[in-house]
Amino acid sequence: MPSLSLAFKPIPPWIWRSLSPFDILLDELKPFLRDSQSIKLIVLDGESMQTSNKFYDELACKLLLPNYFGRNLNALDECLCDLEWLQPAGFILLIRAAQKLLGSEGVEALDGFLDVLSRSGKEWSQPITGTSWDRGPIPFHAIFQSDVPTWRQDLPLIGV
């Protein structure tokens, strides 16, 4: 199983799955967070994000999304690719109890979110040069923590 250190590099895959208990996973991330300086860890709770409304509420709050955020996947895609207000050296979205995330909305809603995350990871990994907002590649990853081994087996495993 790949090391959590991969979540701190601007390389794919952008989305991971972990079967480790949440507290252990968080403890394992802490040394990497200390070493990486200003990687932004954003913890989301799938338990409290089972409906679209709760999902967008939590994202808007935790990511400090602008007031004009449209509360749909297209708007989320645009905002996730432009999180400059957080002044990051990188992002890790850690989703606790991921098997419950958007559980009231059907698999299409979660698949759409995964697509947005994948596009965001790819976008952040590309350096920008020749503009007033030049930057190097920035890691952007999501780690979906679940204690259900059969949940989203299409996502690669990472962690302890």
Its CATH architecture, for the domain 4-126+136-145, is 2-Layer Sandwich (3.30)
Closest CA to 30 of 7, 9, 53, 47: 7
Closest CA to 99 of 155, 54, 146, 63: 146
Closest CA to 93 of 116, 66, 70: 116
| 139, two tokens | 């890691």
Q: For every one of its 160 residues, what pLDDT tens digit does the chain have, with 9 covering 90 and above?
A: 788 999 999 999 999 999 999 999 999 999 888 877 678 899 999 999 999 999 999 999 999 999 989 999 999 999 998 887 777 789 999 999 999 999 999 999 999 999 999 999 999 999 989 988 788 999 999 999 999 999 999 999 998 6
Domain residue limits, the chain: 4-126+136-145
